[in-house]
């Protein structure tokens, strides 16, 4: 029994301000889905038949995205030899001398400090896409990043990410029935919305590689015993339970990380953040974690001042670590299953500035790596470096929309249904016919279907709030038995709202009145199931 003395003894702590966001940020973590995704002691539920059919598709391809944050200077990474005079004249101190370059083709070269990639190029495992961007580039880090993450070029108000939209299609019952492995692992840049859907964040996210290594080596579980018996203790217990539930993927990450047999494979990575991150990602892949997408961020590319030293160091790290990453994977039999893509929010201007740096620009290059490319090449038209051809007299024109590259990666590497890519993920069709990236799903019948799109033909639901109650508005396309249940954010079942045979047509179902309960205000999850599929959605009561 709780005593008044105990309540009083920790009363000062009860006035501390607690929030889920501040608590999670203090741990160096970001949410994987909702606060709970299910109760902290619950085991993973059986997948729906549709989801199981999708995951059983003959495709175990993995995508690694390396985010070059700050705006990478592509001109000093991939030097256009066929325009070398214009390039050198615009960069009297920053230009790459021709004797410090190795050749990709007769038209393009890379700096010798990235020479570890030369063998990958020779083995047909590398591609460059020139002059990638989009119309009306703002040249703002924040807006540029949002555009690349959401693909919302026009309005820049979409707070869902391009892969979040896809995962929301793939896992419509994610809030209650998440997959047994993280759909994505994100390292760094927690404000990134790439994996954000309308209902959940579809990634296991950590702020630093050191935090992920702690989880991978020790697992993660915050103790719930010996807490003070008062309001403060209740708050701490709730927050720790939420964190344990949210990060229950730490267990499978721990198992995958520690199942790799050859730990010496990590010896070839450089002793820096990118080396440590790629080493960890390789161990998770080799340990059969089952995650399809990894995203990691490399900072330092905003090179306004004294660019040469820092940029050289960054490119050296990319060259050495990416090469060893693929040596590591290939030795373990995974080399043909992993594709890597670099992205950056914009390129840099042609002319160096007065501080021996370069300023925010428009077009930049994308690098891709992996056996699935089926040959090395430089793709896409390069921007003209002639003064009269520059955008506003200073910026390189873009010639390839970044969404065209996304389109190919999703359709031809991740094997996503082209209609889902065009209509749901990208919100339009983007011509990718001029880019020969070598991936091939559309030709082998390996296309993955979308659960949610099929469920939209079964039933659709939204919520309507009125003064007296909150209603679930269902458009039912079949006469079928529907089970509708309400859950807390921790996955605990609150009650059954409706379970009966429902006719074709619209049905307006009150939540509180149906449960006959006086529920507290806050977020809950409702789940609608039929023999044709299941969806779960958040609702505020």
Nearest-angstrom CA–CA distance, 186 and 165: 16
Comparison of pLDDT for 431 and 62, the residue scoring more: 62
| Burial (CB count <10 Å: 0-12, 13-18, 19+), residue 332 | middle
298 pLDDT band, cuts 50/70/90, is very high
Do residues 139 and 173 touch, judged by C-beta distance below 8 A?
no
**∠ CA(294), CA(299), CA(303), 5° rounding?**
140
pLDDT exceeds 70 at position 447: no
pLDDT band at 221 (very low <50, low <70, confident <90, very high): low
Q: Distance from first CA to last CA of the chain, Å, rounded? A: 32
Instruction: Give the model's confidence band at 24: pLDDT under 50 very low, under 70 low, under 90 confident, else very high.
Output: very low
Statement: residue 4 has pLDDT above 60: no
What pLDDT, on a 0 to 100 scale, did the predictor assign at position 238?
58
Do residues 153 and 136 lie in contact, with contact meaning Cβ atoms separated by under 8 Å?
Answer: yes
**pLDDT of res. 420:** 84
Higher-confidence residue of 122 and 193: namely 122
Q: How many CA atoms lie within 13 A of 369 on its CB side?
A: 25
502-532 pLDDT per residue, tens: 888 999 999 999 988 778 877 788 888 887 7
- Give the domains, in start order, of the chain with CATH numbers: 49-425 (3.40.720), 457-540 (2.60.40.3080)
User: pLDDT-derived band of residue 69, with 50, 70 and 90 as boundaries?
Assistant: very high
Does 405 score more than 50 pLDDT? Answer: yes
Query: Does residue 338 register a pLDDT over 70?
Result: yes
User: Which residues sit opposite 496 in a β-bridge?
Assistant: 485
Query: Does the structure show a pLDDT above 90 at 1?
Result: no
Q: Give, in order, the Cα–Cα distances in Å from 489 to each of 42, 246, 447, 472.
A: 13, 10, 34, 18
Residue 236: per-residue pLDDT: 65
Token pair in block for residue 531: 């023999």
Structure tokens, 499 = 């379970």
């Amino acid at each position: 029994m709780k005593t008044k003395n105990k309540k009083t003894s920790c009363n000062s702590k009860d006035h501390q301000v607690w929030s889920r966001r501040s608590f999670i940020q203090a741990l160096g973590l970001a949410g994987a889905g909702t606060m709970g995704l299910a109760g902290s002691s619950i085991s993973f539920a059986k997948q729906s038949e549709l989801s199981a059919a999708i995951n059983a598709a003959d495709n175990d391809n993995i995508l690694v995205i390396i985010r070059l944050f700050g705006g990478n200077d592509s001109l000093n990474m991939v030097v256009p030899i066929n325009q070398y005079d214009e390039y050198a004249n615009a960069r009297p101190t920053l230009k790459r001398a021709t004797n410090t370059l190795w050749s990709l083709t007769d038209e393009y070269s890379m700096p010798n400090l990235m020479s570890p990639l030369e063998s990958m190029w020779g083995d047909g495992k590398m591609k460059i896409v020139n002059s990638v961007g989009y119309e009306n580039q703002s040249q703002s880090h924040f807006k540029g990043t949002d555009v690349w993450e959401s693909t919302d070029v026009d309005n820049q108000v979409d707070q869902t990410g391009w892969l979040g939209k896809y995962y929301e299609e793939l896992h419509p019952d994610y809030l209650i029935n998440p997959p047994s492995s993280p759909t994505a692992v994100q390292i760094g840049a927690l404000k990134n919305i790439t994996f954000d859907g309308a209902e959940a964040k579809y990634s296991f996210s950590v702020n630093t590689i050191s935090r992920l290594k702690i989880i991978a080596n020790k697992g993660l579980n915050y103790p719930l015993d010996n807490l003070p018996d008062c309001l403060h203790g209740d708050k701490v217990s709730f927050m720790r339970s939420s964190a344990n539930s949210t990060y229950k993927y730490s267990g499978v990450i721990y198992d995958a990380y520690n199942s790799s047999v050859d730990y010496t494979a990590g010896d070839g990575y450089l002793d820096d953040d990118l080396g440590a991150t790629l080493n960890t990602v390789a161990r998770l892949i080799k340990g059969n974690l089952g995650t399809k997408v990894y995203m990691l961020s490399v900072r330092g590319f905003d090179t306004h001042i004294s660019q040469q030293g820092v940029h050289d160091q960054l490119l050296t790290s990319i060259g050495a670590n990416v090469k060893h990453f693929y040596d590591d994977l290939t030795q373990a039999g995974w080399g043909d299953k992993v594709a890597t893509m670099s992205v950056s929010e914009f390129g840099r201007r042609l002319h160096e500035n007065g501080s021996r740096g370069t300023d925010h620009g428009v077009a930049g290059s994308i690098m891709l790596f992996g056996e699935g490319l089926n040959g090395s090449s430089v793709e896409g038209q390069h921007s003209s470096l002639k003064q009269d051809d520059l955008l506003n007299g200073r910026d390189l024109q873009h010639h390839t929309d970044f969404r065209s590259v996304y389109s190919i990666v999703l359709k031809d590497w991740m094997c996503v249904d082209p209609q889902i890519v065009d209509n749901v993920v990208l919100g339009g069709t983007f011509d990718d016919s001029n880019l020969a990236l070598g991936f091939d799903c559309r030709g082998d019948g390996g296309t993955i279907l979308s659960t949610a799109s099929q469920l939209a033909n079964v039933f659709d639901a939204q919520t309507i709030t009125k003064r007296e109650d909150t209603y679930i508005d269902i458009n039912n396309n079949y006469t079928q038995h529907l089970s509708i249940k309400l859950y807390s954010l921790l996955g605990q079942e609150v009650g059954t709202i409706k379970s009966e045979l429902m006719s074709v047509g619209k049905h307006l179902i009150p939540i509180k009145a149906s449960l006959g309960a006086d529920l507290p205000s806050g977020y809950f999850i409702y789940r609608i199931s039929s023999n044709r599929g299941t969806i779960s959605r958040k609702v505020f009561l």
